[in-house]
Amino acid sequence: MNNTSTALITGASGGIGMELARIHASKGNDVVIVARSEKKLQALKKELELTHKINAWIIVADLSKPESAKTIYEKTQQLGIKVSILINNAGLGGHGLFHQRDLSEDQAMIQINLVSLTNLTHYYLKDMVKDGYGKILNVSSTASFMPGPLQSVYYGTKAYVTSFTQAIAEEVKDYNITVTALCPGAVTTGFIASGNLEGISAWNNAKSAKSVAMIGYKDMQRGKLVSFNEGLLQFVLTWIIPLLPRKVVLKVSRYSMEKQI
Spatial CA neighbour of 56 closest among 35, 67, 65, 66: 35
Residue 179 lies in a domain: yes
Catalytic residue among 45, 73, 124, 158: 158
Residue 206 lies in a domain: yes
- Tell me the pLDDT band of 196, cut-offs 50, 70 and 90: low
Please tell me the total count of domains within the chain: 1
Give the pLDDT score at 2. Answer: 41
DSSP H stretches of helix in the chain: 15-26, 38-52, 68-79, 103-110, 117-131, 152-172, 191-194, 209-222, 231-235, 246-257
d(CA 146, CA 144): 6
Give the pLDDT score at 43. Answer: 98
Q: Is the dihedral of CA 62, 66, 69, 72 positive or negative?
A: negative
Give the pLDDT score at 232. Answer: 81
Question: Which tens digits make up the pLDDT trace of 84-111?
Answer: 999 999 999 999 999 999 999 999 999 9
- Catalytic site residue 158? yes
Q: Is the dihedral of CA 153, 158, 163, 168 positive or negative?
A: positive
Residue 233 lies in a domain: yes
Spatial CA neighbour of 119 closest among 61, 170, 175, 177: 61
Residue 142 lies in a domain: yes
Q: Which domain holds residue 95?
A: 7-257
- Tell me the pLDDT band of 206, cut-offs 50, 70 and 90: confident
- The CATH number of residue 51's host domain is 3.40.50.720
- Tell me the pLDDT band of 250, cut-offs 50, 70 and 90: confident
Task: State percent of the chain over pLDDT 70.
Answer: 91
Spatial CA neighbour of 43 closest among 26, 53, 56: 56
Catalytic residue among 73, 123, 124, 154: 154
d(CA 97, CA 51): 45
Q: Which residues of 49-88 are buried (b: 16+ CB within 10 A; e: fewer)?
A: eeebebbbbbbbbebbeeebbeebbebbeeeebbbbbbbb
Segment 59-86 mean pLDDT: 98
Segment 129-140 mean pLDDT: 98
Residue 2 lies in a domain: no
Residue 90 lies in a domain: yes
Residue 168 lies in a domain: yes
d(CA 261, CA 94): 17
Is pLDDT above 60 for 252? yes
Give the pLDDT score at 168. Answer: 98
Residue 241 lies in a domain: yes
- Tell me the pLDDT band of 230, cut-offs 50, 70 and 90: confident
